[in-house]
């Protein structure tokens, strides 16, 4: 059970770092709680940003400037330079391994313009960019014989003297606890939008596991308060209705049938406008009826299907009920330029990490790019680090007890839903210190009460009741750190808007970095 590099998570970031560490001669093992192709990466539709030809109306410099602007002063210039400069190579690499990008009439990779970009620079594969990137990476991983252990849930990062030597996981199929040893470990477990429970576009797996576990091991987290809300999700199911519906000329209406915002403003501004209407008791709708059935079937077939399925309405004839929901989490495990954490040998990459390329607000098309560019960096750097370690530590610290309450008096599924509802109400698009503080008190109470929560399914084999409970405990941990960030940031910036401090304040041109004890650094 020993490898040079151990990677937790098998989405775009995990697979890219695995392939790169492998190229650098390291022995690799990937561990994932699902299967690689089920990762959140599969849901990314829009595209992946890269300036493929300088001087063709776009430049790498513009990509850098757009990204810095969107980051609202919290972007790391060096990291963003690297992200944008390496973007063309990232696309060329994906093309060379077989990603089915859409093409232009003159045989180039097709690009479209996403919000906040000064030129069309998002390379795309129809509306399935993430899916096709992820599956191609997966095929490559199989070709390279890289070992993937599916359906194992991360419990603990093993450390000694502030350096990591592996992880402890729960084998979901057998119910056994396993230890896997390595010279370096990469966390690539995705974001934490599921804190908002049903009010997110994300997969039910986006519960911030890697972040919560890294915190316990002594890693630092930063910028946790920055959460991007997508303005147009279906009202009942939070399923994403792609930005292309607005791009094509869709209107956003209130109950009176009035337009109240410019639909093409950046996501945070449209989301805020909708939020304000909703606070006044308005229901909000997306109207694409005027685009016509032919156009909708050609350009927005997924949207029509999903609206029928989840809202029981047909967008050709009806208004689509929508609301803004949590979509992407900018904060995460604090890492340096090398994707390294403060724990020796421990790296983090992708949405679970805070590489500081998104700052206070992520630009569409930059998240897939981050997975590839920094996936490669993390893969290379962890492999190089592993070379400097000439021994495996192997501690027989195996304790096989999870200590789970089997006679719960409080139903954690109800509390999980309640946390989501509270967060959606008070830790969302518009916040204020008082409600944030009250929410923190509630979360602290839930953490205390969690002793009386547990599971009623006693099966050792494939116990999803247990996994969901462990995810819920991570959600509680993560919610506390979001609140600490949001309470400490007495200003408004990007996705973090405080009604009691509505302007950006120079004093906060800094990252809020927090340790496991909740101490702000």
Partner 1 sequence: MKITIQRETPQEFEIQDIDNITLLSLLKHIKTTQDNSLTFNSGCRSSVCGSCSMRVNGKEILACNYKVQDGDFIEPLKNLPLLRDLVVDMENISVKNKQATAWLSSITQNISLSQEDAKINELQSDCILCASCYSACPVFSVNEEFIGPFSLTRVWKYVSDKRQNNDKEMIETIQTNGIWSCTLCNECTLVCPQNISSKADIEKLRSQSAMAGYSDPAFNSFGSFGFDGTPVF
Residues binding partner 1 (CB under 8 A): 34-35, 37-40, 42-43, 92, 95-98, 100-105, 107-108, 125-126, 128, 131-132, 135, 139-140, 142-143, 148, 150, 173, 203-205, 237, 239-240, 302, 306, 309-310, 312, 413, 455-457, 459, 461-465
Q: Which is nearer to partner 1, 90 or 224 (CB)?
A: 90
Q: Which is nearer to partner 1, 226 or 472 (CB)?
A: 472
- Contacts of 277-284 with CB under 8 Å at 24 or more apart are 278/323, 279/430, 282/254, 282/255, 282/256, 283/235, 283/254, 283/255, 283/321, 284/235, 284/252, 284/253, 284/254, 284/321, 284/322, 284/323
- Are 504 and 74 contacting, i.e. CB atoms less than 8 angstroms apart? no
**Burial category of 517 from C-beta neighbours within 10 Å (exposed 0-12, middle 13-18, buried 19 and up):** exposed
> Kind and range of the H or E element at 192?
none
How many residues are given for the chain? 521
CB 434, min distance to partner 1, A: 32
Instruction: Compute the Cα dihedral for 238, 242, 246, 251 and give only its sign.
Output: negative
Residue 190 dihedral angles phi and psi, to the nearest 5°: 90, 180
Residue 314 dihedral angles phi and psi, to the nearest 5°: -110, 115
CB 422, min distance to partner 1, A: 18
Distances (CA, A) of 457 to 76, 415, 463, 464: 46, 18, 7, 9
- In the DSSP assignment, the letter for residue 29 is E
CB 136, min distance to partner 1, A: 8
Question: Which of 447, 446, 426 minimizes the C-alpha distance to 436?
Answer: 426
Question: Which of 20, 3, 4, 6 minimizes the C-alpha distance to 371?
Answer: 20
Asked if 113 is an active-site residue, the reply is: no
User: Cβ atoms within 10 A of the Cβ of 149, count?
Assistant: 16
β strands within 238-369, DSSP E: 251-253, 284-287, 320-329, 332-334, 346-348, 353-354
Catalytic, out of 152, 194, 267, 493: 267
- In the DSSP assignment, the letter for residue 343 is S
Q: 3-class SS at 521?
A: coil
Residue 104 dihedral angles phi and psi, to the nearest 5°: -95, 175
CB 49, min distance to partner 1, A: 20
Please list the active-site residues: 267
């Amino acid at each position: 059970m020993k490898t040079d590099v151990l990677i937790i998570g098998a989405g775009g970031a995990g697979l890219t770092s695995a392939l790169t560490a492998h190229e650098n001669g390291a022995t690799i093992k990937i561990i994932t709680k699902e299967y690689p192709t089920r990762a959140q990466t599969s849901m990314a539709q829009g595209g992946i940003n890269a300036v493929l030809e300088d001087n063709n109306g776009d430049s790498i410099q513009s990509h850098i400037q757009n990204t810095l602007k969107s980051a609202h002063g919290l972007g790391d210039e060096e990291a963003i330079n690297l992200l944008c400069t390496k973007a063309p190579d990232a696309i060329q690499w994906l093309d060379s391994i077989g990603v089915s990008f859409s093409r232009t009439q003159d045989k180039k990779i097709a690009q479209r313009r996403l919000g906040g970009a000064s030129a069309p620079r998002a390379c795309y594969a129809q509306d399935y960019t993430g899916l096709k990137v992820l599956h191609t990476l997966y095929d490559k991983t199989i070709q390279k014989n890289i070992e993937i252990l599916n359906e194992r849930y991360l419990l603990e990062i093993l450390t000694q003297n502030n350096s990591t030597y592996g992880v402890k996981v729960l084998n979901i199929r057998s119910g056994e606890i396993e230890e896997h040893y390595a010279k370096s470990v990469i966390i690539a477990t995705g974001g934490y939008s599921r804190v908002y429970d049903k009010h997110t576009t994300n997969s039910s797996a986006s519960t911030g596991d890697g972040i919560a576990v890294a915190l316990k091991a002594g890693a630092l987290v930063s910028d946790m308060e920055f959460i991007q809300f997508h303005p147009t999700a279906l009202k009942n199911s939070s399923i994403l209705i792609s930005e292309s519906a607005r791009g094509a000329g869709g209107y956003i209406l209130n109950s009176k049938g009035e337009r109240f915002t410019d639909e093409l403003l950046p996501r945070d501004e449209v989301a805020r406008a909708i939020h304000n209407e909703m606070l006044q008791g308005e229901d909000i709708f997306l109207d694409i009826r005027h685009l016509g059935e032919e156009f909708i079937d050609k350009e927005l077939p997924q949207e029509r299907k999903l609206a029928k399925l989840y809202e029981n309405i047909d967008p050709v004839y009806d208004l689509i009920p929508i609301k803004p929901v949590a979509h992407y989490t900018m904060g995460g495990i604090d890492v340096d330029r090398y994707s390294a954490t403060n724990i020796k040998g421990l790296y983090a990459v992708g949405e679970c990490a805070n590489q500081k390329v998104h700052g206070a607000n992520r630009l569409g098309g930059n998240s897939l790019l981050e997975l590839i560019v920094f996936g490669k960096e993390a893969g290379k750097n962890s492999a190089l680090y592993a070379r400097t370690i000439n021994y495996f530590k192997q501690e027989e610290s195996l304790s096989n007890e999870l200590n789970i309450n089997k006679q719960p008096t409080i139903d954690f599924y109800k509390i999980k839903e309640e946390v989501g509802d509270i967060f959606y109400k008070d830790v969302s698009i518009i916040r204020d210190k008082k409600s944030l503080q009250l929410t923190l008190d509630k979360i602290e109470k839930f953490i205390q009460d969690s002793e009386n929560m547990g599971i009623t399914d006693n099966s050792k084999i494939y116990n999803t009741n247990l996994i969901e409970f462990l995810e819920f405990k991570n959600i509680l941990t993560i919610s506390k750190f979001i609140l600490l960030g949001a309470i400490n940031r007495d200003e408004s910036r990007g996705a973090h808007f405080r009604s009691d401090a509505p302007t950006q304040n120079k004093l906060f041109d800094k990252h809020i970095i927090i340790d496991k004890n909740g101490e702000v650094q």
